[in-house]
Amino acid sequence: MDSYVSGSVAPPLSQSHGADLGHLREAIAKLESVHGQKGTDLTGRIIHLCHYLPIVSSIQRTPAAPPSPPKTPPTEAVELSTPKASATALPSDKKFQWHLTPRRGHTAMHSGIRSLSATHKQVIVAYTGDIHAHRPSPPEIVGGGGAAPGVETVPSDSLTAEEKKELEAQMANYSDPEWEKAGHEHPITYVPVWLDDKTARGHYDGYCKTTLWPFFHYLLWQDVAHEIQSHDAEFNAYSDANLKYAEKLFEIYQPGDLIWIQDYHLLLAPKFFRNLAPDAHIGLFVHTPFPSSEVFRCLPKRKEILDGMLGANLVCFQTYSYGRHFASSCIRVCGYESAMGGSGVDVSGQVVEIMHCPVGVDAKRVQIDCQRPGIKPKVDALRSLYQGKKIIIGRDKLDVVKGVVQKLKAFEKLLLDFPQWRGNVVLIQVTSPALTDSPKLERQVSELVAHINGEYGSLDFIPVHHYHQHIKKDEFYALLSVADLALITPLRDGMNTTSMEFVLCQQEVSKATGQLAQDLQSSSRAPSPLVMSEFMGISNAMSGGALQINPWNLGDVAASIHRGLTMTDEEKRLRHNTLYEAVTTHTSHTWAAVLVKSLLEKINSENSAHQTPALNRSKMGELYEKAKKRLFMFDYDGTLTPIVKTPSAAVPSKGTLRALEKLSEDPKNVVYIISGRDGGFLDQHLGHLRNVGFSAEHGCFVKEPGHSGTGGEWTNLTKTFDMSWINEVKDIFEYYTERTPGSFIELKNASITWHYRASDPDWGLFQCKQCLDLLQTNLVPKRPIEVLVGKKNLEVRPIAINKGEIVKRLLYTNPDAEWVFCAGDDKTDEDMFRALCLLRPSVVANQEVIMQPPISASLTVSPSATPPKLEPVRLTISPDAVFSTAVGLPTKKTLAVWHEQSPRDVVHAMLELVGEGGESSHSTLPPKDGEALEAAVAASKEEAPTAEPKL
């Protein structure tokens, strides 16, 4: 269990997932129309970033002339024969020629992509796969990018620029045969990604297949130590390949394109591309399972993988549980927070939404294929061959995670526990070779088959028929059609098309000619049942009709097989109807449409990624020199110093102190630090800066410039407030502290904070929400307080006291300021930026700004004194001279106009204003350790430290 509140980390399945394709397309068109009316530019184009192109490329070259032999003395005349040109010889004017053929594999995904061509222009950007040397009759490629056995490959570095350019031109005009059959309006453009052979092998055969694939399927290294190396030496190749994909995508990208990145091969690509196109609309779909956070945290490059995925606006999985595991991993490994409302993960103000939508098959296409004329003769032959016996069908890749060994053991358990089936049931198991050979698994399966046949077979009966080979589509559908039961037992799987194809084949076989699905009662043969593992991505969608089993529980599997073989026709039909509805509703076409619709819904949402421009230092410096009075307002933690694990260790650097000292020495400058820290900390580390003013505890206390050291006078803005509520809040916080290990209470002079940063992330968040609900229900309506949800903390403070009120107070008391700089990094600092919104150009509109007296301006008088009469003031500042600056990611949600990447950059910008921003100042700046932003593509490969809570 990764969450105490399941809804807190992943959203529920969208209700639109059950809608038919027509309604989904109408919804998409409506969303695009709404975006157009709002001025959002959409190109109407969808770009899919996939691992392999659905095209096999082979090159035919003019044979090189044989080398000349050394001269020898003449002996006798010999008639030299000229080699005959092959039937596929090149024209005399060509040095090479490309041949493009369809690639099998990932049928459901490409079927969904093709269906979008009915309404959208599309581009598929992917790796070419191995380039083959052309032969007149190339063998059929069964999927993946590697060459089939016996196929000669061409090294990628041997391809000339002319050959690559010609292939790109041919792919741009390539017409997919399946697309032509569908008759869609918009063509699909194919763009190849070029990878050198070493990177390609390290990416796929290395990191993908030896690390990510087993890891995502819960196979830790110690489980398969004889097969898989326990290191991630190929991660660099994986990263380099992902960067190549992102760069190729950027070459063809146009603002307004929708980007969908497919599967675990490209988990770093979202972040790489986000760095290149910050405002792009990016979705990521993970076809594989995603493991529990307790498993995922064992991955050495865990943070890089998660941060790469979080470059997307939307991350989608096959099931809700996979999404929950991902969110929990982001919270536990990276220290990010769950988005309020449970819609996803909050990454420094940007919410990455999480959803789930299982992939289906092209139901109409499968139903047509089931009626191919070559299938019926094969069905009749199989029935004749196994007359009088029940037929169980299994078809899997020979991979550890497919559960073939468990299936064979369960079948043996069936024959042991239910002896009446001996001689009366056969298991036909087809295993297609996996992309990565596993000799030990092959040997284990062969030994099990031989054992079962030797123990329970006879001269005239063989219980298990095992075929380790690829089979043709007609043979496959014939097996599914003749089966009395389908047995599918993956130990962990994202998607399994065999189960859905079985349901559709049974529909065609069982119904009478010309009858519809609802007329099954009149069919001559009831549909056969399906026994399937509960550890599959589609198991939830098919739970109503399939007999779901735990493949590790052999007795339960055997009992379910027996139940399926003895099931009544009525129950078979009821279960089949449920399965058929699920398979024909959740198709590959509706899956693709849901992805597009979900990404469109994310565009321009409140928390979606948007680019805040980098601080224009030249413009700021120019206006700084012209201004007669300037106002500086800085947050402390995360703005002037990096956030660190131990709050007391966040001491100012030499560069920070130098910048504050130089700024405050200028009589034209008014410098304030507005912090959540208490006055004691600020006095200890910054109190010697006589000309700097301070605000402590989020605006509860103020010290004016000119009061230095610990003996300086702090003004309590809350002294006129009723503070009796603080004991009531303390009692509530103590209750939750007792029940939340690792949490603690911080009691300040005018506020109280409950921290849970050292607690279990999910349990702490759950307790925080419970405590927040209690406070807002019982105390907030009765007391003059407000509750602030911070970074892994909950703070209660007097109402109308916050950093924004201090900003208003400073603007009111300095109406002649002609230049303002305000910097902060977290949620509490948004109050400062909100206060400065009254100076936005859209608000001012060439009119003078009259500011009413803020509440904080009247809080410095004694409770017994008569409050002075405060008058409105006219502000002289121009909107262009207000530099509100958020520190952190440029895509974070903020009201600030500008951004700087880190505290180091903020301090450097201030030193530039006072003429000390040269290279010699870099050694005095705040350290880079603790900064969470990587600004460039190269820097995004480096691991950023975990974000820590801020006081």
Residues forming the active site: 635
Annotate 373-392 with DSSP letters as a single string. Answer: TTHHHHHHHHHHHTTTSEEE
Task: Give the tokens for residue 4.
Answer: 């105490």
CA 947, CA 791: separation in Å to the nearest integer? Answer: 10
Report the distance separating Cα 54 and Cα 566, nearest Å.
43
In the block, residue with structure tokens 């509530």? 732
Q: Please count the other Cβ atoms lying within 10 Å of the Cβ belonging to residue 173.
A: 10
As given in the structure block, the two tokens for residue 695 are: 């605000």
Q: Which amino acid is at 567?
A: M
Sign of the torsion formed by the C-alpha atoms of 415, 418, 421 and 422: positive
> Who's near 125: CB < 8 A, 6+ residues apart?
47, 48, 49, 50, 191, 193, 245, 248, 249, 252
Among candidate residues 824, 822, 753, the one with its CA nearest the CA of residue 788: 753
Helical H runs in 756-867?
A: 761-778, 803-813, 830-836, 841-844
**CA angle, residues 831, 836, 837, in degrees to nearest 5:** 95
Cα separation, 505 vs 366, whole angstroms:
8
**Residue located via tokens 């030797």:** 454
Torsions phi, psi for 681 (to 5 deg): -65, -45
List C-alpha distances in Å: 84 to 63, 65, 96, 660, 895.
Answer: 12, 14, 18, 85, 76
Stretch (H or E) spanning 557: helix 554-565
Mention every residue, 6+ apart, whose C-beta is less than 8 A from residue 913.
620, 621, 624, 663
CA nearest 430: which of 405, 399, 393, 400?
Answer: 393
Distances (CA, A) of 561 to 393, 404, 685, 731: 11, 15, 73, 59
Contact predicate 598/28, CB 8 Å: no
Six-digit token string for 15: 């209700």
Number of H helices, E strands in the chain: 29, 33
Rounded distance between C-alpha atoms, residue 224 and residue 441, angstroms: 11
Q: Are strands 485-488 and 530-533 parallel, antiparallel or unpaired?
A: parallel
Tokens of 233: 């030496």
Residues forming beta bridges with residue 565, ordered by sequence position: none
- The dihedral region occupied by 295, where left means phi > 0, alpha psi between -120 and 50, and beta the remainder, is alpha
Task: Write down the H helix ranges in 211-362.
Answer: 213-216, 235-252, 269-276, 293-296, 302-309, 320-334
